[in-house]
A and B are shown apart, each in its own frame.
Chain A
Amino acid sequence: MFDVLIIGAGVSGSAIAREVSRYKLTACVLEKCEDVCEGTSKANSAIVHAGFDAEEGSLMAKLNVEGNEMMDRLTKDLDIPFKRNGSMVVCVHKEELDGLKVLYDRGVKNGVKGLKILTKEEAHEMEPNLSDNVEGALFAPTGGIICPFELTIAMAENANVNGVEFRFNTEVEDIKKGEDGLFHVRTNNGEYVSRLIVNAAGVHADEIHNMVSSDKMHIIERRGDYCLLDKQVGDFVSHTIFPQPTKYGKGVLVTPTVHGNLLVGPTAIDIENKEGNNTTQAGLDEVILKAGENVKNLPMRNVITSFAGLRAHLERHEFIIEEVKDAPMFIDVAGIESPGLSASPAIGKMVGDMIKDMLSLEEKENWQGTRKGITRTEGLSVEEMNELIKKNPAYGTIVCRCESITEGEILDAIHRPLGARSLDGVKRRTRAGMGRCQAGFCSPRTMEIINRELGLPYEKITKSGGKSYIVLERTKGEASL
């Protein structure tokens, strides 16, 4: 029996897990995939929005601005990279310049600091690669870039160190309120019982909600296609460049990533398929076309990969974070689409506070709010490297040549709390395989390490859990030995 069950180990579920880990309670996160950060949280713009987009007075606006403000402290505590590179909304039609003022006013009302409307000249001076058609821009210095994998993983890890359990490959099939007043959650991995449930199931939040409530919810999967470009062109722009928003969202942006790549996207295509994160030719074409409206000579020949993510969109376009009316002790955290990543620390705090009151929880004396991330070798001096290699020779072996990731970093990723068990798990924790050759070189080497460290036979090593096996079987010659 747990006091709290959190369904979903995305950025919201992980943020909430970390917040509740402050209190004296038992908590467990149920995740249907093999790792944290497997749904919406892993495929998005990796942006910490300033907070001028969402309607004033909305929960989205409030949590976006709060989350943004919490990011400096949180990323420092969790030892993950975060950069306030500033964002720009650019206007390419003179007659739409007024739109920038509307955003500016909304931002001021939402509490966004430092907003400034730039003239055409100022905008071009700040970003030489803007399209010649750019007539003006809204500049938000508090906009930032972050690695969504590292943020989610770090919060989950920290929650785990503070006593929150995680159950992976565990999919919720049904929820019943028992006569004992407790929730009985049926999963493919047995039954879980709890006093309180948090539904942080992303695009599946409607399915989970509808298990307990007669007031049905419907989430629309809104797909976004992206292209990621080589670090060689990572400084093509230094700010995050947005077009003016439309009813489908913030539009196709061009941004550096916190690790120095260039990211372009997303589209916004409503589909009715919770698993439909495939890219399409039309989608990728649209990304290239739309991005080209705001910047010039986008170096698309430097694309190293493309991907798509699904936003958990609700018709009313608002975060739903509340105790469900006809299901006491069941909290929905639903409709967490953009700016969900930006808001995640504030979402965690808000839900943590709700649970504290609902369960009358007391704070732990020994809560450990900081975490040491994986020791990165990037940028270390010769002396620092040698000190590291002396302590652990594995830091002297490069496994991923594109990102210069050492075996030491991969071992750390595998053996730390909630460690990696698949190639993608290693990739999201270390960046091994995330570079320009897209794991062509390092995947056999990473498999060798996983095989050795986890005792997992080659045939059982997956790309990302489930049935995503890398190899099928021994070759004929070996099998007959």
Chain B
Amino acid sequence: MKTVDIVIVGGGPAGLAAAVAAKKAGNDSILILERDHELGGILNQCIHNGFGLHTFKEELTGPEYAYRFIKQVYDLGIEYKLNTMVMDISKDKIVTAMNREDGMFQISAKAVILAMGCRERPRGALNIPGYRPAGIFSAGTAQRLVNIEGYMPGREVVILGSGDIGLIMARRMTLEGAKVKVVAELMPYSGGLKRNIVQCLDDYGIPLKLSHTVVDIEGKDHVTAVTIAEVGPDRKPIKGTEERYTCDTLLLSCGLIPENELSRSAGVTMSPVTSGPVVNESLETNIPGVFACGNVLHVHDLVDYVSEEAGRAGQNAVKYINDGCKDESSAETIEITATEGARYTVPSSINPERMDDLLTVRFRVGDIYKNSFVSVYFDDERIMHNQKRIMAPGEMEQIILRKSQIQEHGGLKKITVKIENE
């Protein structure tokens, strides 16, 4: 069986950044396995700008951003296989994959980096009643059809869900000559970035109806109309608030689900909150040597953060190999608990021995918070209390922990992240 130091599953933004970082950290035995016919992942269909402000201090389109990393993969001579689907990852890090040329093959890896990204929640999972005609797409599928294949799904559009891809597609469909009649969002707040609401809806006069959902889809062969209604605090439709929109297309942007079927079958422990692996300070899962980064770990708002996180996963994988592939899973760790408004943290535990001098801990809040405080407690002592003008579920938050700070707190058992009003 072929052996490779680091197998990276997925050649999207996370996989690319992990590969580049691992190579720069000194490892020469890296293989990226990518199921599509080119590297770059979903960025290839994100032809709008706004990528890279943090990483490159300039505004790039998705393909441009991806190419910054793809070029490094080329220049550094990192090995990759396209059109290759990973079929299985075993507990002992044997990766089974398949493509037309090599057939089905197995690689024994010292470290595996999970970078499979996420998928969109489909109509079925939303339990929207009505007919099941053509003309209903997840926003990302429509984005691919328009931006990659060059075809318009329709001319009159209703969008359910205000996730970023839905907002971006509202603008894209408008620019392509379609009429986007309304964006309905189940929650009382948007799931997307504020800047996308302004630049993709407000600028084009597209109404956003918060606390609304689709209650009926009409059309036997093809969508002919969609009815939306207001929902109450229980998120159930309120009778009498129905509004019917004739349309030929319904786009859905109702959440992303980390794509962890491979992780699960490998025995990786999952977080019920993020639907991604539970990881420690090294972005390592419960299986020693299996790391996770990007949207497969938790859904990010900006690709810049994906790249940064994936870079750390790549470096940590190299470190793990250089340290002799030690099983650290039974080492003493400090748990990080998210509570009172903070939904989760990544990572969710820290081994102070292994952590970097500065450790970024990312999380999301569960509601809109204005002028509230992000507080961090070491056991019962509050050690951080930062006021934020606004926090929203659609945007990721972060805190930075110092190794020295933790070391000063000898015997620290538990770190708690919460949102406080004062």
Contacts and interface: CB of A to CB of B under 8 A. Distances in A.
Are A and B genuine complex partners? yes
B306 to A, nearest CB: 20
Nearest to B105: A382
Contacts of B124: 228, 303-306, 438
A306 B122 CA distance: 11
Nearest to B131: A278
B151 A278 contact: no
Contacts of A389: 98, 100, 103-104
Interface string B171-193: 00000110000000000000000
A471 B222 contact: no
A393 B100 CA distance: 5
B153 A440 contact: no
A277 B85 contact: no
A447 B122 CA distance: 19
A10 interface: no
Interface in B133-178: 133-134, 137-138, 140-141, 144-146, 148-155, 176-177
B220 interface: yes
Interface string A181-212: 00000000000000000000000000000000
B221 A467 contact: yes
B127 A277 contact: no
Nearest to B175: A476
Contacts of A393: 100-101
Contact of B152 (A307, A402, A475): A475
A438 B123 CA distance: 8
B29 interface: no
A114 interface: no
In the complex, which range does the number of interface residues on chain B fall in?
35 or more
B289 interface: no
Contacts of B129: 278-281, 283-284, 306
Contacts of B312: none
B120 A306 contact: no
A223 to B, nearest CB: 12
Contacts of B176: 475-476
B119 A437 contact: yes
Contacts of A477: 150
B331 interface: no
A474 interface: yes
Nearest to B150: A478
Contacts of A394: 100
Contacts of A397: 83, 85, 99-100
B248 interface: yes
A386 B177 CA distance: 48
B96 interface: yes
B132 interface: yes
B122 A463 contact: no
A404 B141 CA distance: 19
Contact of A472 (B35, B103, B132, B248): B248
A275 B104 contact: no
B56 to A, nearest CB: 27
Nearest to A422: B134
In the complex, which range does the number of interface residues on chain A fall in?
35 or more
Contact of B131 (A277, A281, A382, A467): A277
Interface in B190-227: 215-218, 220-222
A306 B217 CA distance: 13
Contacts of A398: 35, 85, 87, 98
Contacts of A304: 122, 124-125
B139 to A, nearest CB: 10
DSSP majority for the A interface?
mixed
Contact of B35 (A306, A401, A436): A401
B161 to A, nearest CB: 13
Contacts of B137: 440
Given A281-B129, A386-B104, A396 B98 contact: yes
A54 to B, nearest CB: 31
A471 B120 contact: no
Contacts of A440: 119-120, 122, 137-138, 140-141
Contact of B103 (A386, A401, A459, A470): A386
B387 interface: no
A465 B85 CA distance: 31
A468 interface: yes
A472 B151 contact: yes
B130 interface: yes
B119 A475 contact: no
Nearest to B133: A468
A473 interface: yes
B178 to A, nearest CB: 9
B100 A303 contact: no
B288 interface: no
Contact of B127 (A306, A465, A473, A476): A306
A390 B99 CA distance: 11
B106 interface: yes
A463 B133 contact: yes
Given A281-B237, A385-B103, A443 B141 contact: yes
B172 to A, nearest CB: 10
A444 interface: yes
A306 B100 CA distance: 35
B153 A470 contact: yes
Contacts of A386: 103-104
Interface in A52-83: none
A462 interface: yes
B105 to A, nearest CB: 8
Nearest to A302: B125
Contacts of A367: none
A459 B145 CA distance: 12
9 contacts: A306-B127, A385-B104, A393-B101, A404-B87, A437-B119, A438-B122, A468-B222, A473-B152, A474-B152
Interface of B: 35, 83, 85, 87, 96, 98-106, 119-120, 122-125, 127, 129-134, 137-138, 140-141, 144-146, 148-155, 176-177, 215-218, 220-222, 237, 248, 261
Interface of A: 227-228, 275, 277-281, 283-284, 303-307, 382, 385-386, 389-390, 393-394, 396-398, 401-402, 404, 436-441, 443-444, 447, 458-459, 462-478
Given A386-B103, A440-B122, A476-B176, 13 more contacts: A275-B220, A303-B125, A305-B123, A398-B85, A401-B85, A438-B124, A444-B144, A444-B149, A464-B134, A467-B221, A475-B150, A475-B152, A477-B150
